[in-house]
Structure 1
């Protein structure tokens, strides 16, 4: 942890606790976005007022945290909750003793990968990867066809590496909501993204993949089934043993963490020797039951109405890269209807990459690329420098809210885990490419959980390396005679 971060956190803790003669009421204001500065101050004031519902103060964020904690508890107790709180049955993280050669299959989008990893004393010695494309017919056809194709690709990969006669354990990253029955079995709950394969109701996806691999006479055993969030946690822990939370902040968003096994009710295997277990929260759906309706704005209503899955993935639509561009569009459109912005952007002309671009230029005190993007999106050459500043402000407001809401979740988990120090492994395009998001998250987590030390770290390729590492963990446990969960 850098001295600058530590000093900043000390100042913020003092503000929270009211030490040093600082008025603790100012803590509320530390969450507000930077004010809009225009020569036309009246216009700036009207815009700020129009967007005020997107600006969350400290007390509102504390309320979100309280709701999140209640939903966590309900989900762990298998009571009605918008959080799935899925038991992944992953009871350990990398400890530096992982050995052997492993395969990983990473399925989460139209492009997927087969990977080979060789580990010795926990260190990665060799890695091979091959990418494959899934066409529309496979993504929308029978599930059996998709899984036969996956097995064909594993076979193609092994043949290309002259390893088709060798024996492997495989980690299967299946980045769709599922109900797990063990570390190596689980059923699809619902397809998301661009997939909608039929015939998958009640099907164990790991067993189906195993059957397809065995039909090709491949000596490959599916040892673990996990999603990319769990993989991110495992990949992060391979770098830093203090990692206890994994977060995806990209096109979508999700989190997982190491929970005390005694707090988890959903077990289908003996677990008396398990101290902690990884819980997949599936926080993208946080609020689907209405518990976050107090946050919702008219702009969020428009984003939801135009989304593929209406009235679902409520929380993800506040923070996910798939939606921030639409939120920028609809917010500028509302300002245009009120005469506070000169033109209405065309739908889907502004993407989440533009949110990052506008923020980047705002940080640098520039507007040229913002102005160019706006003129193209609005099909108008009439926009001015002041209009570019307004668009940058809107991008900042929605980015600030996204950072706040992710920080609420992480700070709640830090308090729940109550460890002296926790590293948080994060992956995803929004976290890696947005110029402000990491700094804002560091600030807000410190404000919301001032007594808990933490750090944010990028964990690359959790869906690939994390999957293979989890297979290595399962193999390590087997050598110790630990029954597979």
Structure 2
């Protein structure tokens, strides 16, 4: 049976043929981007490597996958009642969320956004965490809840090492943050101390998590078969429910847990060189143009922050080799790193889906390019090849997770701008996952929005329940 399955996979991952008026030119372009097109055999090899890296990571052996224990040992059980808070910190704007639960399901949600000025994002961490605490107090008092004990889940979207459900040690700041005195410190403790300095609310920080974990938990309120959380936006990561007896890194006391959410941190998959066999010259240039070279290897193949740049690098190369925009003096803007963003790739892909060219023409016009029919076809072809590879790579890893999770049916909760706005990713993923799964398990993809807000409040409800049980 393996051969027909591989044949079906081989057939499925073929992209639309490039049809040009000049056959020699077509052949040259197809040859140039051939390495971007992964064969069924290569897909299986990537799958083997991913499974191997997961097993090494979970057994605390050197691996490009962190396989972080989140210490969340179960999902909502329907008994959760009352009010729960979330503090969602991921960028210059952050949110405080209040969720009211009845029978484990959200019945009311209040949200307020706050801003962090540039002066608070650098220097000492104390003013930053004081500002977070002040904002939490402002929100709680505005809701008239200052005298109510409120459990809080803290979404801290920076690389951290978790030592328990409520201890997350910052590894490094990213984005526009740089408060050196917080590195190697517990973010929960910094927040608790800031709240204690104020002393004007009864907020209790019970859990720290990232948005991927929150997405899985949020998804579980929409579909009880949810066992995988996926972020496919500017960045990418996934987490899943793992059997607790497989997990070696467990610093707290065990209480007979059957499963636990593992945060894979798959953006770094391949940082140790295990994926170099699929790396093209285009990927090397994309990496060289990125902020931190030789890091986030997998993310650079698939995520919204980089997909547009991969396409731009290919188009720029084809232009320089006089295979694209031949009769046109291409403006320098297409040759400038970062100028072709992933949302534009999604718009061009919509044209390919519709059999049109209006979006493609409009986007190229912004670069000062008036394309001919062949140019349009080449641009659409390159966008499809890069997007299709991203969908296949994500699907390879998701199929491996479905095979690993011992459940009849697995639902994957997904959030993120790329998944939401790219017109073809979801369809490709459904097709590829079903062909790549060796277990033949049923699966489905659901869109679970706001794991970093709602999901964090739900995690605080789980943490609150666990705490009461273990007291």
SS of residue matched to 2:241: strand
Aligned to 1:457: 446
Q: 1:380 to 1:292 in 2, by over 3 A?
A: same
Shift of residue 306, structure 1, vs aligned partner: 1.1
3-state SS in 2 of match to 1:45: helix
Alignment partner, residue 397 of structure 1: 385
Q: Counterpart of 2:182? A: 200
What is the CA–CA distance in structure 2 between the aligned matches of 1:349 and 1:169, rounded to whole Å? 44
Q: Deviations over 1:58-78 (max 9, x none)?
A: 110111111111111111111
Root mean square deviation of aligned Cα: 1.5
Give matches, 1:49-448, under 5 Å: 49-217=31-199, 218-342=201-325, 343=330, 345-347=334-336, 348-377=338-367, 379-381=368-370, 383-448=371-436
The secondary structure found in structure 2 opposite 1:199 is: helix
Deviates more, 1:440-449 or 1:132-141: 132-141
SS of 1:255's equivalent? strand
Rounded to whole Å, the distance in 1 between the matches of 2:258 and 2:380 is 47
SS in 2 for 1:315: helix
- Contact kept, 8 Å, 1:85 with 1:281, in 2: the verdict is yes
Offset from partner CA, 1:100-137 (integer Å, 9 cap, x none): 10110001111110010110112212111001122222
Q: Confirm or deny: 8 A CA contact 1:244 1:422 kept in the other structure.
A: yes
What is the CA-CA distance between 1:18 and the residue it aligns to?
Answer: 2.7
Q: What residue ranges of structure 1 are gaps of 5+ in the alignment?
A: 1-13
Q: Which runs of 4+ in 1 moved over 6 A?
A: none
Measure how far apart 1:160 and its partner are: 2.3
Question: What is the deviation of 1:198?
Answer: 1.4
Contact 2:8 2:435 in 1 (8 A): no
Q: CA deviation at 1:385?
A: 2.8
Separation in structure 2 between the aligned mates of residue 370 and residue 188 of structure 1, nearest angstrom: 43
Select which of 18, 34, 42 maps to 2:4.
Answer: 18
Post-superposition shift, 1:205? 0.5
Give CA-to-partner distance per residue, 1:379-403, whole Å, 9 cap, x none.
Answer: 233x223212211111111100000
Distance (Å, rounded) in 2 between the aligned partners of 1:167 and 1:136: 32
Q: Secondary structure at the match of 1:372?
A: helix
Q: Shift of residue 201 of structure 1? A: 2.7
Q: Give the Cα separation in 2 of the matches to 1:257 and 1:248.
A: 12
The offset of 1:353, in angstroms, is 0.5
**For residues 310-369 of structure 1, what are the alpha-carbon distances to aligned partners after superposition, in whole Å with 9 as ceiling and x for unaligned?**
111010011110111111111100111211112361423211001100000111111122
Q: Which runs of 5+ in 2 are unaligned?
A: none
Q: Following TM superposition, by how much is the alpha carbon of 1:17 offset from its aligned partner in structure 2, in angstroms? A: 5.5
Partner SS for 1:215: helix
- How many aligned residue pairs are there? 462
Structure 1 CA distance for aligned equivalents of residues 9 and 213 of structure 2 = 34
1:39 aligned to 2:33? no
How far apart are residue 26 of structure 1 and its match?
5.1
8 A Cα contact 2:83 2:150, kept in partner: yes
User: Which region of structure 1 is more displaced relative to structure 2, 164-173 or 221-230?
Assistant: 164-173
The offset of 1:416, in angstroms, is 1.2
| Aligned mates of 1:332, 1:352 — CA distance in 2 | 14
